[in-house]
């Protein structure tokens, strides 16, 4: 007797021994170390692929979490989400500002045409 839906549908509700055997079979299946090893390996592979996608989209934490929670579906969602803009630096104080800001939130300096990524004052 296997632990599947057909075994459950063919179970005689008046036979407690059959119910006990099915329960033991299902418990043995769920506690099988091979199943858990495959589950862990699958999760690690999903996380690694999510990290690779996140590195290219500049959102590693977001894409790793999506891949860990949803597996390959998380990869698809990660690929469909927009890439994050890398942080820029203020040319006056060199503190991080959002790309496209017009003024630095730390020192108030005007950022001509939005923040330039990685730009510093010479």
- Quote the DSSP letter at residue 4: S
Q: How far is CA 94 from CA 9, 90, 97, 99, in A?
A: 68, 5, 9, 13
Query: What local confidence, expressed as pLDDT, does residue 88 receive?
Result: 77
The tokens for 69 are 């929670």
Q: How far is CA 111 from CA 48, 67, 91, 96, 114, in A?
A: 37, 37, 8, 12, 5
Query: Is residue 118 over pLDDT 60?
Result: no
Query: What local confidence, expressed as pLDDT, does residue 86 receive?
Result: 66
Q: Is 100 left (phi over 0), alpha (psi -120 to 50) or beta?
A: left
Query: Is residue 120 over pLDDT 70?
Result: no
Query: Is residue 117 over pLDDT 80?
Result: no
What are the tens digits of pLDDT across the range 69-116? Answer: 999 999 999 999 988 776 678 888 888 887 777 888 889 888 876 544
Query: Is residue 1 over pLDDT 70?
Result: no
DSSP-based three-state secondary structure for 87: coil
Domain spans of the chain, in order of start: 5-80, 85-122
Contact yes or no for 93/74 (Cβ under 8 A): no
Residue 116, classified by CB atoms within 10 Å of its CB into exposed (0-12), middle (13-18) or buried (19+), is middle
Task: Report the chain's mean pLDDT, rounded to a whole number.
Answer: 85
């Amino acid at each position: 007797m296997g632990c599947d839906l057909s075994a459950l549908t063919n179970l005689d509700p008046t036979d407690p021994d059959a119910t006990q055997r099915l329960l033991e079979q299902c418990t043995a299946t769920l506690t099988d170390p091979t199943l858990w090893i495959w589950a862990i390996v699958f999760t690690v592979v999903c996380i690694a692929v999510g990290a690779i996608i996140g590195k290219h989209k500049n959102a590693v934490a977001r894409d790793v979490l999506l891949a860990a929670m949803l597996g390959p579906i998380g990869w698809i969602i990660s690929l469909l989400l927009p890439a994050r803009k890398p942080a820029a630096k203020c040319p006056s104080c060199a503190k991080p500002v959002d790309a496209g800001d017009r003024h630095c939130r730390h020192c108030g300096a005007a950022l001509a045409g939005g923040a330039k990524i990685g730009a510093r004052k010479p």
